[in-house]
Amino acid sequence: MSAKGKSVAHILEPQVICGEMEHQGRGRPPKPQEFLTHSGVEGLHMSRDFDDDSKKLDLRFEIASQQQYLSYLESTVNDIPELKAQKEVDIELVRSKIRKLKLRLSQRNRLATENQEQREHRLEKLRNNQRKRLANETPEKRQKRLQAMRTYALQRASKLRVKKKKKHCNHFRI
């Protein structure tokens, strides 16, 4: 029990879904709260491109919530005869929005597959070039390459050690 005497059970209960919302009869019904969660949208596997995947997930979430709203509008279209024309217009608007969102999602999916194919192709070219280079390498060249790699790594490590944080001074000494 909280300080006001209410039980905590109302927090655990699911939100009132749009089909059960009461309509007061003042203009258009309120847009239902989005009660879907990201976990309710399935079929997305996380990969290295987290940002791209999260954008796709947001699109899928938006599509699902719009479809939910569409089903609410379709189920309540005949409830109030005066608002039937307005609800039919709303239904068409929501349908067009869903179509646009699905188009954006398909474009994003297509770009993701093209990027993946390009990335694989580039990696394959790099591997082939490395194989050719290593196949033609003599022991002297190998030794020289390894030495260059070692000196580069040492230089890099020393730069990281020497680098100091710059102090910012907001006042001048007189």
Please report, as a single letter, which amino acid is at residue 136. N
Rg (CA), the chain: 30
Q: What is the pLDDT of residue 121?
A: 92
Q: What is the pLDDT of residue 162?
A: 61
CA 98-103-109 angle, 5° bins:
125
Query: Considering the entire predicted model, what is its pTM?
Result: 0.41
For residues 93 and 103, what is the distance between their CA atoms, to the nearest angstrom?
A: 15
Which stretch of DSSP H or E encloses residue 97?
Answer: helix 84-135
Per-residue confidence of the chain (174 residues) as pLDDT tens digits? 445 554 444 444 444 444 444 444 445 554 544 444 444 443 444 444 556 677 888 888 999 999 999 998 888 888 888 888 888 899 999 999 999 999 998 888 888 888 888 999 999 999 999 888 888 888 898 899 899 999 999 888 887 766 555 566 666 555
CB atoms within 10 A of CB 72: 19
Q: How far from 90 is each of 32, 36, 45, 172, CA to CA, in Å?
A: 14, 21, 34, 64
